[in-house]
Amino acid sequence: MERSKIKELLDKYLEGETSLAEEKKLREYFTSSAIDPAFEEFKPLFTFFEKEQEIKYIEKPKINKTKKISFQWLSIAASIVLVCSVYFFSQQKEEHNNTRKVNHELAMKNTQDLLYMMTNVMNDGKNQLKYLKEFETTKNQIIRNK
Amino acid sequence: MNRHQDETKHKMNQQEFLAFLEPIKDKMYRLSLRLLVSKEAAEDATQEVFVKLWNKKSTLKNYNSPEAFAMTVTKNHCLDQLKLKKNNNLRIVHNNYEDEKTSLQKQIEAKDELNHVSEILKSLSEQEQILIQLRDVEQLEYTEISETTGMKETAIRVSLSRARKKIRKEILKKHRYGTV
């Protein structure tokens, strides 16, 4: 494009009087490689506009509609979990009761065993004490003899 | 029977709604980005505008230009967000952040003229930013911009002219600064 023509267009552009077609021409000129250095300041401007137009909106996965659906699914999932947990809990409780009975008997036996062991040990200890008594009687004998 | 047909004609179903959004969602996002600067905020704003439009889908077709209406809702929503930020004093924080960014950018800027242009745009008034965005980036006709902003065509041209001159002046400042 001729220099005078561009100058004319730019002046119109700055006054806000260019049509879209004319602005397109300007954009094309300033994004090309051969630019008159006299108008160099317009290069970043039009390149910027060109680049800005390429920005795209990347959809985020949280739209109102899907939100509602996810709440529905959430409530369904929650109720399933609730039913399952109640079921498992009740079953576990039953099991728990059974094992408790078994444990009771076992504990009884264990404590009995333990008590037996204790008495055995105690008796052993008591037997050991007999020697002490012997020592004392001999000691008394010695003292008395003196 | 006739009335029923009328009703279905004016109401949008989900598919129609998505088809309506498809060609304009990028435009809406870019306008939000221009005004709100941060990508996160612009994405949230776009999403919220989608919801607003979806809630109004029954009346959407009654508008002269649903597209322009969508852009108006976007514009207003973003301006509201900016007002909210100002009220919450978040503006100050944001400005600090921006300042830091520009000072950091200034070091690299010599090579990056495009960033410089975007910085200049931030210094324009909200209205000027909207007009530059709609006309120079989105290349909309003045009638469409008028519908979106509610401004008269002559007022748009005047404001746009002022904005363009400001941008040019700032770029020239930078250029001269660089060469001296």
Structural domain boundaries, residue A118? 79-146
Can you tell me the mean pLDDT for B146-153?
Answer: 95
Q: B54–A53: do the CB atoms touch at under 8 Å?
A: no
CA distance A142 to B19: 120
| Residues in chain B closer than 8 A to A49 (CB atoms) | 136-137
Amino acid at B169: K
Q: B114–A47: do the CB atoms touch at under 8 Å?
A: yes
Residue B126 to residues A24, A31, A63, A87: CA-CA distances in angstroms? 24, 27, 28, 61
CA distance B167 to B49: 30
Across chain B, what does the average pLDDT equal?
Answer: 82
Query: Cβ of A43 under 8 Å from any chain B Cβ?
Result: yes
pLDDT at A15: 94
A27 domain-assigned: yes
B1: distance to nearest CA of chain A, Å?
30
| Residues in chain A closer than 8 A to B43 (CB atoms) | 57-58, 60
pLDDT at B92: 44
A135 domain-assigned: yes
Same domain, B119 and B163: yes
pLDDT at B125: 93
| Residues in chain A closer than 8 A to B156 (CB atoms) | 16
| Residues in chain A closer than 8 A to B129 (CB atoms) | none
Indicate the residue of B25, B139, B171 with minimum beta-carbon distance to A44: B171
Q: How many domains does chain A have?
A: 2
For the stretch B81-120, pLDDT in tens is 998 877 665 544 444 445 555 555 555 543 478 888 988 9
Residue A130 to residues A50, A125, A137, A140: CA-CA distances in angstroms? 111, 9, 11, 15
In B, minimum Cα distance to A47 occurs at B114
A92 domain-assigned: yes
pLDDT at B80: 93
User: Is pLDDT at A135 greater than 90 in this prediction?
Assistant: no
B78 domain-assigned: yes
Q: Would you tell me how many other CB atoms lie within 10 Å of the CB of residue B127?
A: 17
Q: What is the CATH number of the domain that holds B165?
A: 1.10.10.10
Can you tell me the mean pLDDT for A35-64?
Answer: 83
For the stretch A72-127, pLDDT in tens is 888 888 999 999 999 888 887 777 666 666 678 888 999 999 999 999 999 888 88
Structural domain boundaries, residue B166? 102-180
Can you tell me the mean pLDDT for B44-67?
Answer: 90
Indicate the residue of A41, A59, A60 with minimum beta-carbon distance to B168: A41
A86 domain-assigned: yes
pLDDT at B102: 55
B25 domain-assigned: yes
